[in-house]
Amino acid sequence: QKEVEQDPGPLSVPEGAIVSLNCTYSNSAFQYFMWYRQYSRKGPELLMYTYSSGNKEDGRFTAQVDKSSKYISLFIRDSQPSDSATYLCAMGGFGNEKLTFGTGTRLTIIP
């Protein structure tokens, strides 16, 4: 079993829809959680970073963490064609600088 599981998609939704992206994990040592966005043939860029259970909002993006269920989500409101990309979840434990990544979900927003 992989430490981090992420649905690879692909996921296609119409413009303006709410998108939900999810990851589950098995390692209880993971204490901080990130979402990266990666456009085709580019390096990933950090979208959201959180280390506590609950919600964190930044504009149209909301990151949700449920440590008791070992489940994290990224919600995108009012999705735009420019949101079309691959979204990677990543997580790590304090005292360990290494990140463990999910496989990524490829998202397409249809105009």
Q: Is residue 74 a contact residue for other proteins (CB under 8 A)?
A: no
Among 45, 57, 58, 66, binds other proteins (CB under 8 A): 45
Judged by CB under 8 A, which stretch of 13-21, 53-61, 71-79, 89-97 contacts other proteins? 89-97
Among 18, 29, 46, 110, binds other proteins (CB under 8 A): 46
Q: Is residue 101 a contact residue for other proteins (CB under 8 A)?
A: yes
Minimum distance between the CB of residue 33 and other proteins, rounded to whole angstroms?
10
Q: Is residue 41 a contact residue for other proteins (CB under 8 A)?
A: yes
Q: With b meaning 16 or more CB within 10 Å and e meaning fewer, what string describes 79-106?
A: beeebbbbbbbbbbeeeeeebbbbebbe
Minimum distance between the CB of residue 35 and other proteins, rounded to whole angstroms?
11
* Cα four-point dihedral sign 52, 22, 87, 111: negative
Main-chain dihedrals φ then ψ at residue 82, nearest 5 degrees: -70, -10
CA distances from 27 to 1, 17, 38, 100 (A): 11, 32, 25, 10
Give the span between the Cα atoms of 87 and 47, in whole angstroms: 9
Q: Is residue 18 a contact residue for other proteins (CB under 8 A)?
A: no
Residues of this chain that interact with other proteins (CB under 8 A) are 4, 6, 8, 32, 34, 36, 41-46, 49, 88, 90, 92, 94, 97-99, 101-104
